[in-house]
Structure 1
Amino acid sequence: MIEIQIRHQIFTSSGNKFLEVDERISEGSFVHVSGDSGIGKTTFFKVLSGLVVPDFGFIKLNDKILLDTANKIFLPPQKRNISLMFQNYALFPNMTVKQNIAFAQTEKDENIVDELLEKFALKTFENTSPSKLSGGQQQRVALARTLAQNAEIVLLDEPFSAVDIAMRKVMLNELLEFNKNNNSTFFVISHSEEEFESFSTYNLNII
């Protein structure tokens, strides 16, 4: 069970707002995170991953407390076993595609990296710098790297925005397979709500 309680002031172009989330989500869920633009969905991901400390927060993953502001408990990002895919991909320009994907692994396994390269049609680019790839190719690398971490919680911020329909289906099927086989909990922000309605097991609407 994942317990999340967050209250955090955010500053937007339309004024100050409070991001408020109070949810209990079963492990292995596929969570579609919805809400208007600028409402705080990306900030929510940053709080979950440990990149932002909220004004008030309590996050518990099974018996492990990741955050408890009332008792001054804060697990740093590297100890949360949460992987986050940013909208800007955050790839390392000084590494090859293969090195970028492998970097995410705590326990190195080249077979898994090679498998992800094949599944996302990146094998021919494995020794290429990400800066020489198209936006869609970079997005595939970023998703492959996120999955390579094999984290308990996976946070994806608009993971398919730059790829074509055919590759979108490939990537989506891979996410669903990973979710099923690893019991990882997925949180996905996407404006393509219809794409996720048929298989999401939980909808978290931020208002």
Structure 2
Amino acid sequence: MIDLTVTVPRLFTEGPGSLQLAMRLPSESLTAIIGPSGSGKTTLLRLLAGLETPDQGRIVVDGSVWFDQQQRINLTPQQRSIGYVFQDTALFPNLTVRDNIAYATQRTQRTQVDELIEAAGLTSFADTKPTRLSGGQRQRVALARALVRKPKLLLLDEPFSALDTDATDQLRQLLLALHRAWGTTTVLVSHHEADVNALADRVITLSQGKIIADQDRQHGPAVPPSSGQIRRVWFDEPQQQWVIETDTVQLRSTDTRWGKLVVGARIDLSWH
């Protein structure tokens, strides 16, 4: 069980404010954190990882206190049992797949390295260096490396954002299989409803550093709001897509008509 109550000042898109969160995540759950850019999603992951420190609050994981402002407890990232997968895989280019996964493991954990290499479909690439791998293969290595020490908490920050559709589908299946097999508690930040629909058993929506929706998907599909007010519209040049953000979700499309939409207008948020 993860119990988190934190407060930290933040500059949001609409101006200064405070990220104020209180949540309880069951062990072995997979929770998706969604919301518009700047709502506090990545900050939440960094607070859990110990990469940022709240002004106030408490973080307890399976009975172990990782942070308590009143008791002046603040474990370092190295002291916290976490695995972290970033948008950028951050692999060591001079190390092979096997050595990247085995990095910082103890001798007694080497069997787990072999298990993960096989489970991630990387056996034939075990002695290959990252520069010779595809984007999807590199993310498989990053995921295996994050899991090799059997962390209590797996943190994923947009792990599929740079992948094509096929690689994304394959990595989603791998993530779900490893999450279940290794019994981790997983927190996934994503802008894409396809990730949420395929993976999450719980969906928490952030806006301006606060929880505005908390949906349990284990007892039926989440029902998103039918419409929302547009907060931001822009064109993503690298992806050649129009992007619309509301308080709860980011939508993307190649439909040129989206370029005529304006901030403040309401849009249908039905997920397809």
TM-score in terms of structure 1 length: 0.87
How far 1:143 sits from its partner (Å)?
A: 1.3
Please, which moves more after superposition, 167-176 or 67-76?
167-176
How large is the RMSD of aligned CA atoms in angstroms? 2.2
Aligned length: 207
Q: What are the superposed Cα offsets for residues 46-69 of structure 1, whole Å, 9 maximum, x if unpaired? A: 110111111222101132111001
Structure with the greater alpha carbon radius of gyration: 2
How far 1:192 sits from its partner (Å)?
A: 1.7
CA spacing shift, 1:71–1:205, aligned 2, 3 Å: same
Is structure 2 residue 49 aligned with structure 1 residue 49?
A: yes
Query: Where does residue 161 of structure 1 map in the other structure?
Result: 161
Query: Where does residue 122 of structure 1 map in the other structure?
Result: 122
Query: Where does residue 177 of structure 1 map in the other structure?
Result: 177
CA spacing shift, 1:175–1:106, aligned 2, 3 Å: farther
Note if contact 2:47-2:54 (Cα within 8 Å) is conserved in structure 1: yes
How far 1:78 sits from its partner (Å)?
A: 1.5
Q: Give 2:206's aligned amino acid.
A: I
How far 1:132 sits from its partner (Å)?
A: 3.9
Q: Give 1:151's aligned amino acid.
A: P
Q: What are the superposed Cα offsets for residues 58-94 of structure 1, whole Å, 9 maximum, x if unpaired? A: 1011321110012211111122111111112221223
More helix by share: 1
Query: Where does residue 72 of structure 2 map in the other structure?
Result: 72
CA spacing shift, 1:139–1:42, aligned 2, 3 Å: same
Query: Where does residue 196 of structure 1 map in the other structure?
Result: 196
Query: Where does residue 97 of structure 1 map in the other structure?
Result: 97
CA spacing shift, 1:119–1:168, aligned 2, 3 Å: farther
Q: Give 1:79's aligned amino acid.
A: Q
Task: List runs of 5+ in structure 1 lacking aligned partners.
Answer: none
Q: What are the superposed Cα offsets for residues 105-127 of structure 1, whole Å, 9 maximum, x if unpaired? A: 34543443233333434333322
CA spacing shift, 1:146–1:58, aligned 2, 3 Å: same
Q: What are the superposed Cα offsets for residues 136-183 of structure 1, whole Å, 9 maximum, x if unpaired? A: 332222112112221111001112223343443333233223332333
Compare relative contact order (CA 8 Å, sep 6+) and give the higher one, 1 or 2: 1
Note if contact 1:101-1:141 (Cα within 8 Å) is conserved in structure 2: yes
Query: Where does residue 37 of structure 1 map in the other structure?
Result: 37
CA distance in 1, matches of 2:144, 2:3: 27
Is structure 2 residue 39 aligned with structure 1 residue 60?
A: no
Task: List runs of 5+ in structure 2 lacking aligned partners.
Answer: 208-272
**Secondary structure of 1:191's match?**
coil
Q: Give 1:33's aligned amino acid.
A: I
Note if contact 1:50-1:77 (Cα within 8 Å) is conserved in structure 2: yes
CA distance in 1, matches of 2:5, 2:107: 31
**Secondary structure of 2:6's match?**
strand
Query: Where does residue 140 of structure 2 map in the other structure?
Result: 140
Query: Where does residue 206 of structure 2 map in the other structure?
Result: 206
**Secondary structure of 2:70's match?**
helix
CA spacing shift, 1:120–1:162, aligned 2, 3 Å: farther
Identity among equivalent pairs (%): 37
Please, which moves more after superposition, 108-117 or 149-158?
108-117
